[in-house]
Structure 1
C-alpha cells in the first residue's frame, strides 16, 4: 500500500515512526520496494536531531549490522544528539564514521569508572570535533575543551569537573568563542574568575545555588555590563551587595515558588536600577490590593513592560475609584504594557484597567521550567560583538 504513495507522502509517514520501526521497515523493503527502502534511508538524513537511550543500545547490540545501516545514513547530516546512559563499547563502534555537521551534544554515561569516563569523553571529542554546544553529566575533565575549539555553549549543571585537582577556570577560559556558560555549586572552590569574565563573546552566565560572594567574584569587573537578571531562588536579598554595582540593569525576571518575596523587596531593586524597563514576575503574589501595584509602577518611571504570570485578581482586589491608577499613569511619559499571562478574571482586569497610557494584554512570555530550580542567570554585554569580531563594545 505504501508503494502506491508518492515520495513526499512516504516521507511524511516515515517521519512519525520511531527508530526501530524505521529499521524494521528498511529491512522489510530490501529488494522488494527499492523506492520505499531509499526513502527510509533518506528520512534519516533529513532527521537532524536524535535521542538514543538504553533500550536503543540493547536493540543495536542484538542487531549489530543495523547500527552500520543507521550511522551510514545519518552520520553526515546529524546536528543534535542526546545519549542517555551510553556505553563506552557502543561509542567505540561509532569511530568508523565522521560527523561533520554535529553541533549539539548532551550525554550521560553508563559507567562512572574514571578510566572509562575519560576514554568515553576522548572518543566523543574525536567523533564530534565541531561541537558548538555541550551538556555532559557526571565527571568531566575541562582539559578536553581544548579539542572543542568551536564551543559556544557549555552547560556544566550536572557535572563534577575536578575543581580541586586543577585550574578548570583556565581551561574554560581558553574557549574564546564561548557565549553561554552554566556552572553548578562547584564554582565556590575557585577564587579567580577573571579568565571567564575576559572571554570576549560571553554574554550569558547561569550560576546554580550561588552566594553573594561567588556572584561578586564573577562581576567584580563586569557589573556595569549587566543588562538582565533572572532569579529563581530565595529572593535576591543575599546578593544585594553585588546588585548595587549593577547600575545598567534593564530587565528583571523573578521566579518564585514560596511566598517570601514582598513589595519591599521589589522596591529595593527598583531603587538600585534607575534604567529598569521590564519586570517579569512568575507565580509571585505580592500585591494584596490594586493600590500597591500602582505604587510599584509609580516608583519605576522607566518601566515599559510588566509581565505577571498566574495572578489571581478577584473583585476585592480592585479599588472602588480609579484615582491612584489615573494619577500614576497620567504622570508617565510613555505607555505601560501590563501583561497578565494565564490570568484569572480577565473580564475584571479589562473592566478596571483602562487608560490611554496603558496597554493590557494576555500574551505568553518566556518561562523557565527546567530542572534548575535555584539559579541566578546574568545577561551582559559581551566584550566583543559576535557580528563584528574586531569591534569592542
Structure 2
C-alpha cells in the first residue's frame, strides 16, 4: 500500500498549497503518516473526507495545545473508514473509541491516556491488534478492560505484573504476546504453566538464559525459536533448553556467540530431528569455528529424511561455509530471514488460540 508522509516543513507558510494537495489526494489516499503538523495545518483536514484511508500514523505536535483532543476529533471526522491507527503524543484519547472500524491500534507512545479512554476503546472497538503501555498504578483497570477484547489476536505491552498474567492468558483469540520482562522470571514461568502447550513460536533478546529448563518443560510444541544477542548463554546451557523443544522446525540466531565451533552447530541439528531451517544472521564466524569434525557433520546429515536449509546472512565467512559445509542433504542460502525484531530484555510468544 503506497504511503504518503506529511511533515510540518513541507507546507509551512503555504496553506493554500496544502489545501490543493489534500484535495487532489482525498479520493485515493490509503496510508498516511502525519509528523508534527501544527494546528493551522491540521485544521485544513477538517474541510475534507478521505473515504479510502485505511492506515494512519499520527505523531502529534506536542507544542500545540489541542483543546479536548480536537486534533483527534479531526481525524475521526476525516477518516471514517480507518482500520489502523498509530498515535504518538500527549492526547488523552477521548475520541479514539468513535473510530469504529479500527482493528489495529498502537497507543504505546501516548503518555497522557486516561483509564476512561482505554475502557471506552475496549468496549466499543473490535480490536485485533493492540500496542499499549500503562502506569503501574493503573494496570488493574487496563488489564480488566483488555480482557474483554474477545477478538484480540496480538497484544504488545511494556511491563506486566505477575498478577495480570492469568487474565491476559484467557483472551480467547490471542495469538501473539510481546512484553518486556525486566528479568522477572516468574512472569514467563506463569505464562508457560498456563499456556505452554499452546506456544508454537518464541523470540528472545538477550534473555533466554534467565530461565531454567523447568520453565520450558510445558512448551513441548514449540516450532520456531529466535535468539537475539545471547550474551551470557553458552552452548552447554542452550543445549539443555533446546532439549525441551522436541518439535523444533526452525532456529534463528541473530548476533549470536552460542557456537564456539561448528561441532556444536551439528550437535544442535542432531538433537532436533524435525529441524528444517537453521538461520544465522550477523554472526561473526571466526576461523576456530571451522575446526570441526567433518565426519560428525556427515553422520548427522545422513540420518535426516529431508535436507536441512542453512541460511546465513552477514556471517563474515560465506566462502568457508560453502567450502566446508558440503552434503547432499544440506542446502545453503545467503539471504536475510524475515522476522520481527524484539527489544532488549523483551520476549515475543506466539500461541495457538484458545478459540479458532
How far the C-alpha of 1:279 sits from its partner, in A, is: 0.2
1:347 pairs with 2:319: yes
Pair 51,315 (structure 1): closer, same or farther in 2 beyond 3 Å: same
Of the two structures, which has the highest relative contact order with CA contacts closer than 8 Å and spacing of 6 or more? 2
**Kindly tell me: are residues 315 and 65 of structure 1, through their superposed partners in 2, closer, same or farther at Cα, counting changes over 3 Å?**
closer
Match of 1:28 in 2: none
Q: Give the 3 Å change call, closer, same or farther, for CA 114–177 of structure 1 in structure 2.
A: farther
Compute the TM-score of the two structures, normalised by the length of structure 2: 0.79
Aligned to 2:55: 104
Q: Map of 1:302-313 to 2, 5 A cutoff? A: 302-313=274-285
Quote the residue 1:150 is aligned against.
101
Q: 1:364 to 1:90 in 2, by over 3 A?
A: same
Classify 1:224/1:122 alpha carbon distance in 2 versus 1 (closer, same or farther; 3 Å): farther
In structure 1, the partner of 2:231 is 259
1:349-386 Cα offsets, whole Å, 9 max, x none, are: 2222122322222232125568x444211222234xxx
Count of equivalent residues? 332
Residues 1:68 and 1:171: Cα distance change in structure 2 (over 3 Å): farther
Query: What value does the CA root-mean-square deviation take over the aligned residues?
Result: 3.2
User: Which of residues 336, 346, 350 in structure 2 aligns to 1:375?
Assistant: 346
Equivalents in 2 of 1:84, 1:133: separation in Å? 16
Specify the alignment match of 1:43 in structure 2.
Answer: none
Decide which of 58, 71, 77 is 2:22's aligned counterpart. Answer: 71
Runs of 4+ in 1 over 6 A off after TM superposition: 112-115
Kindly indicate whether residue 3 of structure 2 is the aligned counterpart of residue 49 of structure 1. Answer: yes
Q: 1:81-230, aligned counterparts within 5 Å?
A: 81-111=32-62, 116=67, 118-139=69-90, 141=92, 144-160=95-111, 161-162=113-114, 163=134, 164-165=137-138, 167-185=141-159, 187-188=160-161, 191-192=163-164, 196-210=168-182, 211-215=184-188, 221-230=194-203
Q: What is the Cα deviation at residue 227 of structure 1?
A: 1.0
Deviations 1:23-65 (A, max 9, x none): xxxxxxxxxxxxxxxxxxxxxxxx9421122313xx34x2222
Q: Which moved more, 1:194-203 or 1:149-158?
A: 194-203
How far is 1:228 from its partner?
0.9
Structure 1 distance, partners of 2:58, 2:272, is 44
Partner SS for 1:76:
coil
Please, what TM-score do these two structures have when normalized by structure 1?
A: 0.72
Report how far residue 109 of structure 1 moved: 1.8
**Contact 2:261 2:292 survives alignment (8 Å):** no
Instruction: Please give the alpha-carbon distance, in whole angstroms, between the structure 2 residues aligned to 1:100 and 1:241.
Output: 53
Unaligned runs of 5+ in 1: 1-46, 384-391
Larger radius of gyration: 1
Which range is displaced more, 95-104 or 279-288? 95-104
Tell me, yes or no, if structure 1 residue 358 matches structure 2 residue 330.
yes
Instruction: Give the Å deviation of 1:275.
Output: 1.0
Q: Describe the shift of the 1:348–1:218 C-alpha distance in structure 2 as closer, same or farther (beyond 3 A).
A: closer
Q: Structure 2: which 5+ runs fail to align? A: 115-133
User: Equivalent of 2:206, from 225, 233, 255?
Assistant: 233
